[in-house]
Structure 1
Amino acid sequence: MEVEKESEIWYAMRATYRRELDAMRLLEKEKLGCFIPMQYKISVKKGKKVRVLMPVIHNLVFVHACPSEVKRVKSQINYLQYITDTRSGQKIIIPDNDMQRFIAVAGTYNDHLLYFQPDELNLSKGTRVRIIGGDFEGQEGLFLKVKGARDRRVVIEIQGVIAVAMATIHPDLIEVIE
């Protein structure tokens, strides 16, 4: 009998009590893919201001692995939990192309990125666009006005988990997707 090969998928997970970095170290030790959106913040240590790379949203970890691997590791790391959809109760699984797009933007640690909870933005008002130049060339998202920014920005969303608004992009570098 042939064993069906499980494919790796992206899970949105929660590491309780701000232990997302500990979870990431343990997941990397187990050779599992993971991603935590991070950003530089200024903090004061011993009276001096220093730039520190910190998670954007505490407790959020994206894990890339086969379901059986996640189950095995989750049994060892008791503070790692699945994030579930509030309506259906299903585990939140992110399509690979959405996650690659999100990592391409959030993985830059750019100071001008703005992060939002899904309910903070009205994505239905956005226009689907593709960026045709600059640092984020090839990325697709929604072009809309976001809170905390003077102008419209391209937003990439992970359904029901997080959204990231890119830095201001010149209109000449944006094309509308029909």
Structure 2
Amino acid sequence: MNTFFKQNPNWYAVYTRSRAEKKLHTLLVQKKVECFLPLKKTLSQRTDRKKTIELPLIPSYLFVRITEKEHFDVLNTPGAVCYVRFDGQPAAIPDEQIDYLRQIIINEPRDLTVQYDNFSRGDMVEVRSGPLKGIKAEVIQIRGKERLLLRFESLGYCVHVELPAEELMAYRELAAS
């Protein structure tokens, strides 16, 4: 058995088969495994109507909080492919990163603006006010004058977040305050 799983439960990202996230989530909940599937609401155009549907925020990813003895239970569940790995080991995700994702889901993205000239690609930022206060991320891309693509360190995944400039603070500003 690998030593990456500790006796205390940690969060790990499980890579799933395509479009199997919800089914895997249901099966793991039935097995009493603590898991989190971040979903986003989107409008789908049907031939006769528009329908709001929930899609995974991060396709093919499901987050599980497990101990060593639950390791194989998760992988032996239909729909699970493997654990997401960094440097050859399954990547433990800090509780705070999962909490950040939950905050994003609860507060749903808003159409707010960011002054793009305040931040550059590669800058580390922290949300200093508002419902996402305390979230730390890296600016990966600036899309136009009003949108930033942020990467959450431990997830290794990018999330589009639109925030007013006054809600973000660069790490270099944090050190000076």
C-alpha distance in structure 1 between counterparts of 2:163 and 2:18, whole Å: 34
Alignment of 1:37-48 (within 5 A): 37-45=38-46, 47-48=48-49
Q: Cα offset for 1:46?
A: 5.0
Tell me what 1:117 maps to: none
Q: Cα offset for 1:138?
A: 2.6
Tell me what 1:102 maps to: 101
Counterpart code for 1:49: K
Name the % identity: 21
- Length, aligned pairs only: 160
Answer yes or no: is 1:85 the counterpart of 2:85: yes
Preserved CA contact (<8 Å) 2:44 2:53: yes
Tell me what 1:157 maps to: 152
Preserved CA contact (<8 Å) 1:102 1:156: no
- Give the ranges of 4+ consecutive aligned residues of structure 1 lying more than 6 Å apart after TM superposition: none
SS of 1:137's equivalent?
Answer: coil
Answer yes or no: is 1:128 the counterpart of 2:129: no
Q: Cα offset for 1:147?
A: 5.0
SS of 2:90's equivalent?
Answer: coil
Preserved CA contact (<8 Å) 1:34 1:64: yes
Preserved CA contact (<8 Å) 1:8 1:64: yes
* Cα 1:97–1:137 shift into 2, 3 Å: closer
TM-score, with length taken from structure 1:
0.72
TM-score, with length taken from structure 2:
0.73
C-alpha distance in structure 1 between counterparts of 2:92 and 2:108, whole Å: 24
* Cα 1:96–1:145 shift into 2, 3 Å: closer
Q: Cα offset for 1:25?
A: 1.0
Tell me what 1:177 maps to: 174
Q: Cα offset for 1:153?
A: 3.3
Q: Cα offset for 1:12?
A: 1.0
Q: What stretches of structure 2 of length at least 5 have no aligned partner?
A: 1-5, 113-119
Counterpart code for 1:177: L
Q: Cα offset for 1:27?
A: 1.5
Q: Cα offset for 1:158?
A: 4.5
Answer yes or no: is 1:33 the counterpart of 2:29: no
Preserved CA contact (<8 Å) 2:147 2:160: no
C-alpha distance in structure 2 between counterparts of 1:27 and 1:35, whole Å: 10
SS of 1:17's equivalent?
Answer: coil
Counterpart code for 1:170: A
* Cα 1:84–1:54 shift into 2, 3 Å: closer
Q: CA RMSD in A?
A: 2.9
Preserved CA contact (<8 Å) 1:82 1:92: no
